[in-house]
Amino acid sequence: MEELIAREYLELNGFVTMPLRKGRSQSKRSQKNEGLDLYARNMKFVAGDREPSFLLFSSELRHLKSAVICVRGWHGEKAALASMSNGADMLKYLEANVLKKVEKWFEFEHWRELGESEFPKRILVAPVFPTQEVYRAQIVAALKEKGVDGILSFKTMLLDIIDKVDTRQVYPKSDLLQLLRTLKTFDLVKDSQMNFLG
């Protein structure tokens, strides 16, 4: 499900995506420690543009030419990052469970076969990101040191997808978008801006 959310989000923001896990072992144990999930190329990218910020929101995606993306939900972990309430817990979890593996996750020998002249940006998708600046800065520095170029959060992606789903449009090729359309039609899910007002 995590990979599906990432794909829908990127495609709604002008990217084409390609899965990179074909032919790999599909057991749950091996999936947890596997590497890259997606390759994404921005079809709206303008050459000579600035680099995107490390924390990627929809407004930053236009500055991202292409990326290899590692989707890690960590929702099934005992100490799920998504349920952690403060930056200290997130940093501790990251140090114990992510930083040791992240370089291996981004190993990819075949990037030139994608038509790239340089290695695409390395983007990590994670459940949440701390709001406290001191922990945010420490996590960004630690991930950059391990070669990560940017991070996307599931919350950010889901809010953007919800906002872009139009109740007057049918999405025959996407079960996720169709489900969100139905939920919005019956007022079970509202746009994020409406949530701020309500």
Q: What is the pLDDT of residue 193?
A: 61
Distance CA(147)–CA(36), nearest Å, equals: 14
Say which DSSP state 12 is in: H
Work out the angle between the directed axes of helices 87-97 and 133-145 (0-180°, nearest 10).
20
Residue 138 lies in a domain: yes
Q: What is the pLDDT of residue 23?
A: 44
Q: Please name the residue ranges forming H helices in 57-130.
A: 58-61, 87-97, 102-105
Residue 190 lies in a domain: no
Residue 29 lies in a domain: yes
Q: Please name the residue ranges forming H helices in 43-86.
A: 58-61
Q: Is the pLDDT of residue 78 over 90?
A: no
Residue 170 lies in a domain: no
**Residue 111 pLDDT level (bands cut at 50, 70, 90):** very high
101: CB partners within 8 A, 6+ apart: 33
Q: What is the pLDDT of residue 126?
A: 85
Residue 177 lies in a domain: no
pLDDT in tens, 157-196: 999 999 999 999 999 999 999 999 999 999 998 887 655 4
Distance CA(168)–CA(190), nearest Å, equals: 14
Q: What is the pLDDT of residue 34?
A: 66
Q: What is the mean pLDDT of residues 129-149?
A: 92
Q: What is the pLDDT of residue 80?
A: 56
67 bridge partner residues = 40, 121
Q: What is the mean pLDDT of residues 64-87?
A: 72
Q: What is the pLDDT of residue 115?
A: 92
Distance CA(169)–CA(181), nearest Å, equals: 8
The helix (run of H) or strand (run of E) holding residue 7 is: helix 2-12
Say which DSSP state 55 is in: B
* Domain total in the chain: 1
Residue 96 lies in a domain: yes
* Cα–Cα nearest to 67, from 106, 104, 28: 106
Q: What is the pLDDT of residue 25?
A: 45
**Could you write out the DSSP letters of every residue in 150-179?**
EEEEHHHHHHHHHHH--TTS--TT-HHHHH
Q: What is the mean pLDDT of residues 13-30?
A: 70
User: Domain range spanning residue 96?
Assistant: 2-164
